[in-house]
Amino acid sequence: MDDIKQYVLDKARRAREASRALATLNGRVKDDALRRMADALEAKADLLKSENQKDIEASRSRLTPASLDRLTLTDRTVAGMARGLREIAAQPDPVGRLEGLERRPDGLRVGKMRVPLGVVGIVYESRPNVTADAAGLCLKSGNAVVLRGGSEAIHSNICIARVLSEAATAAGVPEGAIALIETTDRAAVAEMLQAEGLIDLIVPRGGKPLIKLVMETSRIPVIKHYDGVCHVYVDAGADLDVAERIAFNAKVQRPGVCNAMETLLVDEKEAKGFLPQIGRRLREAGVELRGCERTREFLPDAKPASEDDWYTEYLDLILAIRVVDGLDAAIEHIARYGSAHTDAIVTRDHLHAEAFLRRVDSSSVMVNASPRLADGGVYGLGAEVGISTDRLHARGPMGMEGLTTYKWVVYGEGHIRE
Amino acid sequence: MDDIKQYVLDKARRAREASRALATLNGRVKDDALRRMADALEAKADLLKSENQKDIEASRSRLTPASLDRLTLTDRTVAGMARGLREIAAQPDPVGRLEGLERRPDGLRVGKMRVPLGVVGIVYESRPNVTADAAGLCLKSGNAVVLRGGSEAIHSNICIARVLSEAATAAGVPEGAIALIETTDRAAVAEMLQAEGLIDLIVPRGGKPLIKLVMETSRIPVIKHYDGVCHVYVDAGADLDVAERIAFNAKVQRPGVCNAMETLLVDEKEAKGFLPQIGRRLREAGVELRGCERTREFLPDAKPASEDDWYTEYLDLILAIRVVDGLDAAIEHIARYGSAHTDAIVTRDHLHAEAFLRRVDSSSVMVNASPRLADGGVYGLGAEVGISTDRLHARGPMGMEGLTTYKWVVYGEGHIRE
């Protein structure tokens, strides 16, 4: 136990040390390192796959086919990791930008400079490609990273991290900047979460139990990517073709992700015209429907929805449907049952659109667009760290800027406080 | 104990409820409320002073003269609170501003809207004017506030909060938006810090023991205002008159605050020319000097500085002085011993200025200016919430924008995820 503590603190201390030089590393050096890291992964694809095979052998009996699939490295997934790193290299450097330098009335010039957070801790589950992705995002944003992947992927992660770290160091990145906790001992996570002063931010990537554990244990600030109980509200007078297109996309295009729709709200005036039409299409796509009483007047084969359904993130081909008495009732429903992730209105009414945007307090609020569009790429943020469900620092789709902070930069000419 | 828990949760729940309406309250209503709150404090000055008298009687024997002075309300301090509220009313509304609305290649328009955090918890010590100040800042930024002041000021705080809350409600602010914990039971603070989901941010205002307690106990994000071990570095070739002016101001103008200088670093090339001159002036101002060995060659009556001195925030007329071998050694000293609050270089060398700005990782980094200028007012932020020593969300001088977050606002025309 003490050994694990020492081991984790040692990794974190070396990452902290590396972070100082990394913070001011030239952007060209970082991009060169990212491209070399991509090349190295491809060059070492056979080694990666054979190490990965050890992980697969060890857990074949315990994992579901879907989990095994996520764990498995192929030439295609290795090429995907390499492409991801090259895309990060191609993005502008988020570090060092001077924002809003202004001359104050006393002649002092004051602005903000974007700087890295320092050391970022990433705790994630069995997908080994997160190792490359997280290392790339942190390096580009000038942060050292301490990675802790799932135990099922330990051989794969060790191999990926070593290949990346070696390539990065050869390009001039300080040693220790890409650190992996090379043990499956669970105590290591707890030690990371207590390493105040050495790690500046923890980003958990994985299922709810992992995120809950991190939230409850961490003494370090956490940015989490949690529930998405997302709504589409079809307003009175909406274009019902647009509504159908958006609602269908929001539920069916990829139901297992956080920005998929879980509850459809329909103004009572449109229930009769809209519900049979969308109900048919959703059923054809294999969606199980659960409706309130008024919904079931128009969709009699929908199951009755319980109070619990309104709170539920199905992440599956299941949809709760509720008929509501207008905009206020829709906003009220979203405030009460939603998770403040992403909510959309389909409307032709400009005043309703603006009221919805102002009054719905979610990380993304949309007019006439599918909540599935809540995404760093779609928003123009480049590579995405995740979708933050927190309110502080970074909210909603989070690009590399979320891994930076700022410092105030002040130019005086002998200015003093009077 | 259970009663206290219920009491605190009830206040927080009502604040949460109020925060929903408050988030979209018209700016004119908020400003009108702030002005009425100011008027009400002045109109009730006699009541405030008589309630304050109860606090003074109760703690006269236990408090130092300085603490008693901070606790005492006079016509002048009441007028100061009122003026503060009117100044907040005169500032632009930080809520609802749409930032960077851009049309993406697919025609989607995406921007960020500034919104309140929700419910802010403020835990502070005996100065009762914080009650008015914090209530005003939170109201203007659209947040409900749960206030917990020091027990010595309980009668004063209850009276101020009631006067403010009544005036605000009369102007259309939802009830419960300005909540004070009206008990001196210490368990109430712990309950506040556990009220996840009801309180979004905790801001502790007070001495280090209070801030430490909050940091160690809170399950809610905290923005803290902690140590300032601030440095002034006098570079080789600096204008020594400018250096003297800045160093003297940084130490003497108000030594008891976090942005006062605690350690003076002098390039060895300037030690002989600068130290006797600044030493004389500082001693005349009553400053105790503690120097490294090389410093004491030129200031023989300075006490020898110990390793501990370099880490110390004196908040007093004491100064540690060290002679260093150039810019790199100065930056190294600041990284090792500093608190990343505010650090300044006095230089004529443009490259040194830029290297110092880039490489010193403090919340404010200055060239040829006194660290005492690290201040929301000086930086043009308007009323100041404090100086954050955290890295996430808000860093350095923190204006009302630090009490807000953003949501993504997306305008589509039937856009879906392909």
Does residue B169 sit at the A interface (CB-CB below 8 Å)? no
Picking from A245, A407, A411, the nearest residue to B396 by CB comes out as A407
Chain B residue with minimal CA distance to A416? B370
Cβ atoms < 10 Å from Cβ of B75: 12
Picking from A353, A390, A417, the nearest residue to B249 by CB comes out as A417
DSSP per position, A290-355: EE-HHHHHH-TTSEEPPHHHHH----SSEEEEEEESSHHHHHHHHHHH--SSEEEEE-S-HHHHHH
Residues of A in contact with B365 (CB under 8 A): 407-410
Query: Residue B410, exposed/middle/buried by CB under 10 A (0-12, 13-18, 19+)?
Result: buried
Does residue A379 sit at the B interface (CB-CB below 8 Å)? yes
Residues B242-253: pLDDT tens digits? Answer: 999 999 999 999
CB contact under 8 A, B378 and A118: no
Domain-embedded: residue B218:
yes
Sign of the torsion angle spanned by Cα atoms A385, A387, A390, A394: positive
Q: State the Cα–Cα distance between residues A347 and B413, nearest whole angstrom.
A: 10
**B348: number of CA atoms within 13 Å, CB side?**
8
**Same domain as B211, residue B83:** yes
Domain-embedded: residue A415:
no
Q: List all residues of chain B from 102 to 161 with a beta carbon under 8 Å from chain A.
A: 102, 104, 106, 108, 110, 113, 115, 117-118
**Same domain as B264, residue B218:** no
Picking from A239, A242, A379, the nearest residue to B408 by CB comes out as A379
CB contact under 8 A, A380 and B104: yes
CB A15 within 8 A of CB A144: yes
CB contact under 8 A, B414 and A335: no
**SS3 labels along B97-121:** CEEEEEECCCCCEEEEEEEECCEEE
Picking from B24, B357, B391, the nearest residue to A359 by CB comes out as B24
Of B178 and A219, more confident: B178
The CATH number of the domain holding residue A355 is: 3.40.309.10
Chain A residue with minimal CA distance to B23? A359
Q: List all residues of chain B from 356 to 375 with a beta carbon under 8 Å from chain A.
A: 357-359, 361-370, 372-375
Q: What pLDDT does B18 receive?
A: 98
How many Å is the Cα radius of gyration of chain B? Answer: 24
State the nearest Cα–Cα gap between B39 and chain A, in angstroms: 31
Residues of B in contact with A356 (CB under 8 A): none
Specify the range with the lowest mean pLDDT, choosing from A311-320, A348-357, B33-42, B221-230.
B221-230
CB contact under 8 A, B407 and A396: yes
**Same domain as B331, residue B309:** yes
Domain-embedded: residue B403:
yes
Does residue A378 sit at the B interface (CB-CB below 8 Å)? yes
CB contact under 8 A, B392 and A117: yes
Two structure tokens written together for B325: 């071998």
CB contact under 8 A, A102 and B366: no
Domain-embedded: residue B351:
yes
Q: State the Cα–Cα distance between residues B207 and B66, nearest whole angstrom.
A: 14
Specify the range with the lowest mean pLDDT, choosing from A5-19, A162-176, A273-287, B55-69.
B55-69
Q: What pLDDT does A1 receive?
A: 57
The CATH number of the domain holding residue A110 is: 3.40.605.10
**SS3 labels along B240-277:** HHHHHHHHHHHHHCCCCCCCCEEEEEEEHHHHHHHHHH
CB A58 within 8 A of CB A369: no
- Among B246, B415, B418, which would you mutate to test the A interface (most chain A Cβ atoms within 10 Å of its Cβ)? B415
**Residue B2 pLDDT grade (very low, low, confident, very high; cuts 50, 70, 90):** confident
Chain A residue with minimal CA distance to B372? A417
CB A24 within 8 A of CB A128: no
Residues of B in contact with A412 (CB under 8 A): 366-370, 373
Q: What pLDDT does A63 receive?
A: 87
- Among B362, B387, B403, B416, which would you mutate to test the A interface (most chain A Cβ atoms within 10 Å of its Cβ)? B416
The order of strands in the sheet holding A342-346 is A303-304, A288-291, A318-324, A261-267, A230-234, A342-346, A364-369, B404-415, B109-116, B98-103
**Same domain as B35, residue B81:** yes
CB A234 within 8 A of CB A265: yes
CB A33 within 8 A of CB A26: no
**Residue A385 pLDDT grade (very low, low, confident, very high; cuts 50, 70, 90):** confident
Smallest CA-to-CA distance from A140 within A78, A220, A86, A98 is with A86
Alpha-carbon distance values, B383 to B28, B87, B360, B375, B378 (Å): 18, 8, 27, 10, 10
CB contact under 8 A, B358 and A242: no
Does residue B257 sit at the A interface (CB-CB below 8 Å)? no
Smallest CA-to-CA distance from B120 within A308, A323, A391 is with A391
Phi, psi of B390 (to 5 degrees): -90, 165
Does residue B397 sit at the A interface (CB-CB below 8 Å)? yes
Q: What pLDDT does A102 receive?
A: 96
Residues of A in contact with B96 (CB under 8 A): 358
Residues in chain B: 418
Q: What pLDDT does B1 receive?
A: 57
Q: List all residues of chain A from 69 to 98 with a beta carbon under 8 Å from chain B.
A: 96
Domain-embedded: residue A389:
no
Q: Is A289 helix (H, G, I), strand (E, B) or coil?
A: strand
Please give the ipTM for the structure prediction: 0.94
**Same domain as A210, residue A269:** no
Q: Is B292 helix (H, G, I), strand (E, B) or coil?
A: coil
Residue type at B160 in one-letter notation: I
**Residue A185 pLDDT grade (very low, low, confident, very high; cuts 50, 70, 90):** very high
Picking from B102, B358, B379, the nearest residue to A408 by CB comes out as B379
Residue A125 has pLDDT above 90, yes or no: no
**Same domain as A146, residue A267:** no
The β-bridge relationship of strands A318-324 and A261-267 is: parallel
Residue A287 has pLDDT above 80, yes or no: yes
CB contact under 8 A, A364 and B410: yes
Mean pLDDT (chain A) is: 96
Does residue A401 sit at the B interface (CB-CB below 8 Å)? no
Query: The whole model's pTM is what?
Result: 0.93
> What is the tally of structural domains in chain B?
2
Domain-embedded: residue A387:
no
**A56-92: string of b/e by CB count within 10 Å (b at 16+)?**
beebeeebeeebbebbebeeebbebbbebbbebbebe
Q: Compute the average pLDDT of residues B29-46.
A: 98
Residues B46-71: pLDDT tens digits? Answer: 999 999 999 999 998 888 888 899 99
Residues of A in contact with B368 (CB under 8 A): 411-415
Picking from B23, B367, B410, the nearest residue to A366 by CB comes out as B410
Residue with tokens 């040194």: B352
Percent of all residues in chain B with a pLDDT value above 70, rounded to a whole number: 100
Q: List all residues of chain A from 223 to 242 with a beta carbon under 8 Å from chain B.
A: 239, 242
Q: Compute the average pLDDT of residues B130-145.
A: 96
Q: State the Cα–Cα distance between residues B166 and A283, nearest whole angstrom.
A: 55
Residues of A in contact with B393 (CB under 8 A): 392-393
Query: Residue A116, exposed/middle/buried by CB under 10 A (0-12, 13-18, 19+)?
Result: buried
Residues B268-281: pLDDT tens digits? Answer: 999 999 999 999 99
Specify the range with the lowest mean pLDDT, choosing from A110-119, B48-57, B88-97, B208-217.
B208-217
CB contact under 8 A, A365 and B249: no
State the nearest Cα–Cα gap between A391 and chain B, in angstroms: 6
CB B22 within 8 A of CB B208: no
Residue B384 has pLDDT above 90, yes or no: no
Smallest CA-to-CA distance from B338 within B310, B357, B359 is with B310
Contacts 24+ apart (CB under 8 A), B90-94: B90/B31, B91/B140, B91/B382, B91/B383, B91/B400, B93/B27, B93/B30, B93/B31, B93/B140, B94/B140, B94/B141, B94/B142, B94/B399, B94/B400, B94/B401, B94/B403, B94/B404
Residues A79-121: pLDDT tens digits? Answer: 999 999 999 999 999 999 999 999 999 999 999 999 999 999 9
Q: State the Cα–Cα distance between residues B40 and B167, nearest whole angstrom.
A: 7
The β-bridge relationship of strands A404-415 and A109-116 is: antiparallel
State the nearest Cα–Cα gap between A410 and chain B, in angstroms: 5
Q: Compute the average pLDDT of residues A256-269.
A: 97
Residues of A in contact with B253 (CB under 8 A): 416-417
Domain-embedded: residue A283:
yes
Domain encompassing residue B338: 230-373
**Same domain as A155, residue A42:** yes
State the nearest Cα–Cα gap between A347 and chain B, in angstroms: 10
**Same domain as B162, residue B95:** yes
Domain-embedded: residue B384:
no
**Same domain as B234, residue B155:** no
**Same domain as B241, residue B143:** no
Q: State the Cα–Cα distance between residues A64 and A68, nearest whole angstrom.
A: 6
Residue A27 makes CB contacts below 8 A (sequence gap 6+) with A93, A95, A96
Residues of A in contact with B405 (CB under 8 A): 391-392, 395
Phi, psi of A417 (to 5 degrees): -85, 125
State the nearest Cα–Cα gap between A167 and chain B, in angstroms: 25
Residues of A in contact with B353 (CB under 8 A): 411
**Same domain as A200, residue A277:** no
Specify the range with the lowest mean pLDDT, choosing from A64-78, A346-360, B341-355.
A64-78
- Among A392, A395, A403, which would you mutate to test the B interface (most chain B Cβ atoms within 10 Å of its Cβ)? A392
Q: Compute the average pLDDT of residues B186-198.
A: 94
**Same domain as B90, residue B12:** yes
Q: State the Cα–Cα distance between residues B246 and B348, nearest whole angstrom.
A: 14
Does residue B416 sit at the A interface (CB-CB below 8 Å)? yes
B259: left (phi over 0), alpha (psi -120 to 50) or beta: alpha
